[in-house]
Amino acid sequence: MNPHNQILTENFLEHLALERSMAQNSIEAYKNDMSKLSYYTETILGDRNFELLTLDDLSAFLEWTAKFGLSPRTQARILSAIKHFFNFLVLDQKIEVSPAYLLSTPKLDLHLPTVLSVEEIDQIESAIDLSSDEGERNRAIIETLYSCGLRVSELINLKLTDIYPDLGTIKVIGKGDKMRIVPISEVALKYITYYLEKTRCHMAINNENKDYLFLNRRGRKLTRVMIFTIVKRLCDAAGITKEVSPHTFRHSFATHLVEGGASLRAVQEMLGHESIQTTEIYTHLDSNYLRDAIMSHHPRSDRQLLNFQDF
Protein backbone atom coordinates (compact mmCIF):
# COMPACT_ATOMS: atom_id res chain seq x y z
CA MET A 1 0.00 0.00 0.00
CA ASN A 2 1.08 3.57 -0.70
CA PRO A 3 2.79 4.61 2.60
CA HIS A 4 0.85 7.88 2.73
CA ASN A 5 -2.48 6.12 2.15
CA GLN A 6 -1.54 3.45 4.68
CA ILE A 7 -1.07 6.08 7.40
CA LEU A 8 -4.45 7.62 6.56
CA THR A 9 -6.08 4.19 6.70
CA GLU A 10 -4.49 3.34 10.06
CA ASN A 11 -5.61 6.67 11.50
CA PHE A 12 -9.11 6.04 10.19
CA LEU A 13 -9.33 2.56 11.76
CA GLU A 14 -8.02 3.96 15.04
CA HIS A 15 -10.73 6.63 14.86
CA LEU A 16 -13.40 3.92 14.40
CA ALA A 17 -12.12 1.99 17.41
CA LEU A 18 -11.46 4.81 19.87
CA GLU A 19 -13.90 7.57 18.96
CA ARG A 20 -16.79 5.67 17.39
CA SER A 21 -16.42 2.54 19.58
CA MET A 22 -17.04 0.33 16.56
CA ALA A 23 -16.98 -3.44 17.08
CA GLN A 24 -13.75 -5.22 16.10
CA ASN A 25 -15.39 -7.35 13.41
CA SER A 26 -16.83 -4.20 11.78
CA ILE A 27 -13.40 -2.56 11.88
CA GLU A 28 -11.89 -5.63 10.18
CA ALA A 29 -14.57 -5.43 7.47
CA TYR A 30 -13.78 -1.73 6.92
CA LYS A 31 -10.07 -2.55 6.81
CA ASN A 32 -10.70 -5.08 4.02
CA ASP A 33 -12.81 -2.53 2.14
CA MET A 34 -10.07 0.09 2.41
CA SER A 35 -7.55 -2.43 1.08
CA LYS A 36 -9.74 -2.80 -2.02
CA LEU A 37 -9.78 0.97 -2.51
CA SER A 38 -6.01 1.08 -2.02
CA TYR A 39 -5.47 -1.67 -4.59
CA TYR A 40 -7.67 0.17 -7.07
CA THR A 41 -5.86 3.51 -6.63
CA GLU A 42 -2.47 1.80 -7.03
CA THR A 43 -3.23 -0.40 -10.03
CA ILE A 44 -5.87 1.59 -11.93
CA LEU A 45 -5.25 5.21 -10.96
CA GLY A 46 -1.46 5.24 -10.89
CA ASP A 47 -0.90 5.18 -7.12
CA ARG A 48 -2.88 8.32 -6.37
CA ASN A 49 -3.22 9.65 -2.83
CA PHE A 50 -6.66 9.27 -1.26
CA GLU A 51 -7.12 13.04 -0.80
CA LEU A 52 -6.98 13.53 -4.58
CA LEU A 53 -9.78 11.08 -5.42
CA THR A 54 -12.90 12.55 -7.03
CA LEU A 55 -16.55 11.55 -7.18
CA ASP A 56 -15.94 10.05 -10.63
CA ASP A 57 -12.99 8.04 -9.28
CA LEU A 58 -15.09 6.59 -6.45
CA SER A 59 -18.02 5.84 -8.76
CA ALA A 60 -15.66 3.99 -11.09
CA PHE A 61 -14.23 2.11 -8.10
CA LEU A 62 -17.70 0.90 -7.07
CA GLU A 63 -18.41 -0.19 -10.66
CA TRP A 64 -15.08 -2.04 -10.61
CA THR A 65 -15.95 -3.91 -7.40
CA ALA A 66 -19.35 -4.88 -8.85
CA LYS A 67 -17.60 -6.81 -11.63
CA PHE A 68 -16.45 -9.38 -9.05
CA GLY A 69 -20.01 -10.51 -8.34
CA LEU A 70 -20.29 -8.92 -4.92
CA SER A 71 -23.76 -8.91 -3.41
CA PRO A 72 -25.63 -5.59 -3.12
CA ARG A 73 -25.25 -5.86 0.65
CA THR A 74 -21.46 -6.18 0.39
CA GLN A 75 -21.34 -3.28 -2.07
CA ALA A 76 -23.43 -1.21 0.35
CA ARG A 77 -20.94 -1.95 3.12
CA ILE A 78 -18.01 -0.91 0.91
CA LEU A 79 -19.84 2.33 0.12
CA SER A 80 -20.44 2.88 3.84
CA ALA A 81 -16.72 2.40 4.52
CA ILE A 82 -15.81 4.92 1.81
CA LYS A 83 -18.27 7.52 3.10
CA HIS A 84 -17.06 7.10 6.67
CA PHE A 85 -13.45 7.35 5.52
CA PHE A 86 -13.85 10.57 3.57
CA ASN A 87 -15.97 12.09 6.34
CA PHE A 88 -13.02 11.29 8.60
CA LEU A 89 -10.65 13.09 6.20
CA VAL A 90 -12.91 16.14 6.38
CA LEU A 91 -12.98 15.91 10.17
CA ASP A 92 -9.20 15.56 10.22
CA GLN A 93 -8.91 18.61 7.91
CA LYS A 94 -7.18 16.64 5.18
CA ILE A 95 -9.87 17.66 2.65
CA GLU A 96 -12.59 20.31 2.66
CA VAL A 97 -15.48 18.38 1.11
CA SER A 98 -16.10 14.63 0.87
CA PRO A 99 -16.16 13.40 -2.76
CA ALA A 100 -18.25 10.43 -1.55
CA TYR A 101 -21.17 12.61 -0.47
CA LEU A 102 -23.20 12.07 -3.68
CA LEU A 103 -22.47 8.37 -4.11
CA SER A 104 -25.71 6.34 -4.27
CA THR A 105 -26.35 3.20 -2.26
CA PRO A 106 -27.10 -0.06 -4.14
CA LYS A 107 -30.69 -1.20 -3.75
CA LEU A 108 -30.94 -4.02 -1.20
CA ASP A 109 -33.54 -6.75 -1.17
CA LEU A 110 -35.46 -6.55 2.09
CA HIS A 111 -34.83 -9.68 4.14
CA LEU A 112 -37.37 -10.15 6.89
CA PRO A 113 -36.12 -12.29 9.79
CA THR A 114 -37.98 -15.23 11.26
CA VAL A 115 -40.27 -14.30 14.16
CA LEU A 116 -41.88 -16.56 16.76
CA SER A 117 -45.36 -15.96 18.07
CA VAL A 118 -45.96 -15.70 21.80
CA GLU A 119 -47.65 -19.11 21.62
CA GLU A 120 -44.58 -20.65 19.97
CA ILE A 121 -42.30 -19.20 22.64
CA ASP A 122 -44.57 -20.66 25.32
CA GLN A 123 -44.45 -23.95 23.43
CA ILE A 124 -40.63 -23.93 23.50
CA GLU A 125 -40.55 -23.18 27.23
CA SER A 126 -43.11 -25.94 27.88
CA ALA A 127 -40.78 -28.43 26.17
CA ILE A 128 -38.03 -27.81 28.75
CA ASP A 129 -37.43 -30.73 31.12
CA LEU A 130 -37.38 -28.99 34.49
CA SER A 131 -36.38 -32.22 36.23
CA SER A 132 -32.96 -32.11 34.53
CA ASP A 133 -30.00 -30.26 36.00
CA GLU A 134 -30.07 -27.71 33.19
CA GLY A 135 -33.85 -27.28 33.00
CA GLU A 136 -34.22 -24.25 35.27
CA ARG A 137 -31.21 -22.61 33.61
CA ASN A 138 -32.51 -23.18 30.08
CA ARG A 139 -35.95 -21.78 30.93
CA ALA A 140 -34.31 -18.67 32.38
CA ILE A 141 -32.12 -18.36 29.27
CA ILE A 142 -35.06 -18.51 26.83
CA GLU A 143 -37.17 -16.06 28.83
CA THR A 144 -34.25 -13.63 29.25
CA LEU A 145 -33.43 -13.76 25.53
CA TYR A 146 -37.04 -13.01 24.68
CA SER A 147 -38.10 -10.54 27.37
CA CYS A 148 -34.93 -8.42 27.08
CA GLY A 149 -34.16 -8.77 23.36
CA LEU A 150 -30.53 -9.69 23.98
CA ARG A 151 -27.85 -10.70 21.52
CA VAL A 152 -26.15 -14.03 22.26
CA SER A 153 -22.91 -12.30 23.25
CA GLU A 154 -24.84 -10.06 25.64
CA LEU A 155 -26.57 -13.03 27.24
CA ILE A 156 -23.46 -15.13 27.88
CA ASN A 157 -21.65 -12.11 29.35
CA LEU A 158 -24.51 -11.16 31.66
CA LYS A 159 -23.33 -11.04 35.28
CA LEU A 160 -25.09 -11.31 38.60
CA THR A 161 -24.12 -7.72 39.32
CA ASP A 162 -25.85 -6.60 36.10
CA ILE A 163 -29.31 -7.54 37.44
CA TYR A 164 -31.36 -5.02 39.42
CA PRO A 165 -34.50 -6.87 40.57
CA ASP A 166 -35.83 -3.94 42.62
CA LEU A 167 -35.71 -1.69 39.56
CA GLY A 168 -36.86 -4.35 37.12
CA THR A 169 -33.85 -3.69 34.85
CA ILE A 170 -30.59 -5.23 33.75
CA LYS A 171 -27.34 -3.65 32.56
CA VAL A 172 -26.25 -4.86 29.13
CA ILE A 173 -22.85 -4.42 27.49
CA GLY A 174 -23.48 -4.40 23.75
CA LYS A 175 -21.45 -3.88 20.59
CA GLY A 176 -18.44 -1.64 20.99
CA ASP A 177 -18.69 -2.09 24.77
CA LYS A 178 -21.64 0.31 24.83
CA MET A 179 -23.75 0.02 27.96
CA ARG A 180 -27.52 0.23 28.04
CA ILE A 181 -30.21 -0.37 30.66
CA VAL A 182 -33.00 -2.70 29.59
CA PRO A 183 -36.26 -3.55 31.40
CA ILE A 184 -36.64 -7.20 32.38
CA SER A 185 -39.98 -8.89 32.85
CA GLU A 186 -41.20 -10.28 36.17
CA VAL A 187 -41.44 -13.69 34.52
CA ALA A 188 -37.75 -13.61 33.53
CA LEU A 189 -36.75 -12.46 37.02
CA LYS A 190 -38.81 -15.27 38.54
CA TYR A 191 -37.15 -17.90 36.34
CA ILE A 192 -33.69 -16.48 37.06
CA THR A 193 -34.45 -16.67 40.79
CA TYR A 194 -35.55 -20.32 40.46
CA TYR A 195 -32.32 -21.10 38.58
CA LEU A 196 -30.16 -19.36 41.18
CA GLU A 197 -31.89 -21.05 44.13
CA LYS A 198 -32.40 -24.54 42.69
CA THR A 199 -29.41 -25.08 40.42
CA ARG A 200 -26.64 -22.53 40.45
CA CYS A 201 -26.19 -22.43 44.23
CA HIS A 202 -25.29 -26.16 44.21
CA MET A 203 -22.62 -25.87 41.51
CA ALA A 204 -18.85 -25.93 41.95
CA ILE A 205 -18.07 -22.66 40.22
CA ASN A 206 -14.72 -21.75 38.72
CA ASN A 207 -13.37 -18.55 40.36
CA GLU A 208 -12.95 -16.79 37.02
CA ASN A 209 -16.63 -17.35 36.22
CA LYS A 210 -18.30 -16.87 39.59
CA ASP A 211 -19.98 -13.57 38.65
CA TYR A 212 -21.43 -14.78 35.34
CA LEU A 213 -25.13 -15.58 35.51
CA PHE A 214 -25.48 -18.55 33.18
CA LEU A 215 -22.98 -21.40 33.63
CA ASN A 216 -22.46 -24.90 32.28
CA ARG A 217 -22.39 -27.97 34.49
CA ARG A 218 -18.66 -27.48 35.12
CA GLY A 219 -19.27 -24.02 36.56
CA ARG A 220 -17.92 -22.13 33.55
CA LYS A 221 -19.43 -19.40 31.39
CA LEU A 222 -21.57 -20.67 28.52
CA THR A 223 -20.36 -20.26 24.94
CA ARG A 224 -22.28 -18.94 21.91
CA VAL A 225 -22.28 -22.45 20.43
CA MET A 226 -23.89 -23.87 23.57
CA ILE A 227 -26.73 -21.33 23.40
CA PHE A 228 -27.35 -22.24 19.75
CA THR A 229 -27.38 -25.93 20.73
CA ILE A 230 -29.85 -25.33 23.57
CA VAL A 231 -32.22 -23.41 21.29
CA LYS A 232 -31.99 -26.03 18.53
CA ARG A 233 -32.75 -28.92 20.88
CA LEU A 234 -35.68 -27.11 22.52
CA CYS A 235 -37.22 -26.20 19.16
CA ASP A 236 -36.94 -29.81 18.01
CA ALA A 237 -38.58 -30.98 21.24
CA ALA A 238 -41.36 -28.40 20.85
CA GLY A 239 -42.04 -29.33 17.23
CA ILE A 240 -41.12 -25.88 15.92
CA THR A 241 -40.30 -26.19 12.21
CA LYS A 242 -39.15 -22.61 11.61
CA GLU A 243 -35.45 -21.83 11.25
CA VAL A 244 -34.82 -20.58 14.78
CA SER A 245 -31.62 -19.25 16.31
CA PRO A 246 -31.02 -17.36 19.57
CA HIS A 247 -31.30 -14.13 17.56
CA THR A 248 -34.87 -15.11 16.61
CA PHE A 249 -35.97 -14.31 20.17
CA ARG A 250 -34.49 -10.82 19.78
CA HIS A 251 -36.44 -10.32 16.53
CA SER A 252 -39.58 -11.62 18.22
CA PHE A 253 -39.09 -9.27 21.17
CA ALA A 254 -38.82 -6.24 18.88
CA THR A 255 -41.69 -7.28 16.61
CA HIS A 256 -44.06 -7.86 19.51
CA LEU A 257 -43.17 -4.45 20.93
CA VAL A 258 -43.97 -2.75 17.61
CA GLU A 259 -47.20 -4.74 17.30
CA GLY A 260 -48.11 -3.56 20.80
CA GLY A 261 -47.62 0.10 19.84
CA ALA A 262 -44.10 0.82 21.12
CA SER A 263 -42.28 3.63 19.31
CA LEU A 264 -39.36 2.78 17.03
CA ARG A 265 -37.14 5.06 19.09
CA ALA A 266 -37.93 3.10 22.27
CA VAL A 267 -37.28 -0.21 20.49
CA GLN A 268 -34.01 1.18 19.12
CA GLU A 269 -32.86 2.07 22.63
CA MET A 270 -33.79 -1.34 24.05
CA LEU A 271 -32.05 -3.22 21.23
CA GLY A 272 -28.97 -1.00 21.33
CA HIS A 273 -29.10 -0.16 17.60
CA GLU A 274 -26.77 2.65 16.61
CA SER A 275 -29.05 3.71 13.75
CA ILE A 276 -32.85 3.94 13.67
CA GLN A 277 -32.68 2.54 10.13
CA THR A 278 -31.67 -0.85 11.54
CA THR A 279 -34.78 -0.83 13.74
CA GLU A 280 -37.11 0.14 10.87
CA ILE A 281 -37.18 -3.45 9.59
CA TYR A 282 -39.67 -4.20 12.36
CA THR A 283 -42.21 -1.84 10.77
CA HIS A 284 -42.15 -4.15 7.73
CA LEU A 285 -42.62 -7.17 9.97
CA ASP A 286 -45.52 -5.37 11.64
CA SER A 287 -47.10 -4.68 8.24
CA ASN A 288 -46.94 -8.39 7.41
CA TYR A 289 -48.53 -9.14 10.76
CA LEU A 290 -51.38 -6.72 10.02
CA ARG A 291 -51.90 -8.18 6.56
CA ASP A 292 -52.03 -11.73 7.93
CA ALA A 293 -54.47 -10.62 10.62
CA ILE A 294 -56.76 -9.03 8.04
CA MET A 295 -56.62 -11.98 5.65
CA SER A 296 -57.27 -14.41 8.50
CA HIS A 297 -60.15 -12.63 10.22
CA HIS A 298 -61.86 -10.24 7.81
CA PRO A 299 -65.20 -11.62 6.55
CA ARG A 300 -64.36 -10.72 2.95
CA SER A 301 -60.85 -12.12 2.87
CA ASP A 302 -61.94 -15.38 1.22
CA ARG A 303 -63.30 -13.37 -1.72
CA GLN A 304 -59.95 -11.56 -2.11
CA LEU A 305 -61.64 -8.16 -2.02
CA LEU A 306 -58.96 -6.65 0.21
CA ASN A 307 -55.77 -5.37 -1.28
CA PHE A 308 -53.39 -4.50 1.54
CA GLN A 309 -51.43 -2.20 -0.74
CA ASP A 310 -54.40 0.18 -0.83
CA PHE A 311 -54.08 1.01 2.88
Other Cβ atoms less than 10 A from the Cβ of 152: the count is 21
Q: What is the CATH number of the domain that holds 85?
A: 1.10.150.130
Indicate whether 59 and 194 sit together in one domain.
Answer: no
**For the chain, where are the alpha helices, taking DSSP H only?**
3-18, 24-43, 55-66, 72-91, 118-126, 135-148, 152-156, 186-198, 224-238, 246-259, 264-271, 276-279, 281-297
Residue 308 has pLDDT above 70, yes or no: no
As a whole-number percent, the residues of the chain with pLDDT over 90 amount to 58
Q: What is the pLDDT of residue 111?
A: 62
Taking residues 139-150, report their average pLDDT.
95
The SS3 call for residue 117 is coil
Q: What is the pLDDT of residue 293?
A: 46
Indicate whether 199 and 75 sit together in one domain.
Answer: no
Indicate whether 86 and 134 sit together in one domain.
Answer: no
Q: What is the CATH number of the domain that holds 215?
A: 1.10.443.10
Indicate whether 179 and 72 sit together in one domain.
Answer: no
Indicate whether 126 and 264 sit together in one domain.
Answer: yes
Indicate whether 156 and 281 sit together in one domain.
Answer: yes
- The count of structural domains within the chain is 2
Taking residues 258-274, report their average pLDDT.
84
Q: What is the pLDDT of residue 296?
A: 52
Nearest to 73 by CA among 117, 108, 34, 27: 108
Does residue 311 lie in a domain region?
Answer: no
Identify the band that residue 284 occupies on the pLDDT scale cut at 50, 70 and 90. Answer: low
Catalytic (active-site) positions? 151, 175, 247, 250, 273, 282
Residue 29 has pLDDT above 70, yes or no: yes
Does residue 268 lie in a domain region?
Answer: yes
Taking residues 61-72, report their average pLDDT.
82
Return the exposure string of 122-141: e unless at least 16 CB atoms fall within 10 Å of the residue's CB, then b. ebbbebbeeeeebbbbbbbb
Taking residues 274-299, report their average pLDDT.
59
Residue 221, domain extent:
118-292
Half-sphere exposure of 264 (CA within 13 A, CB side): 13
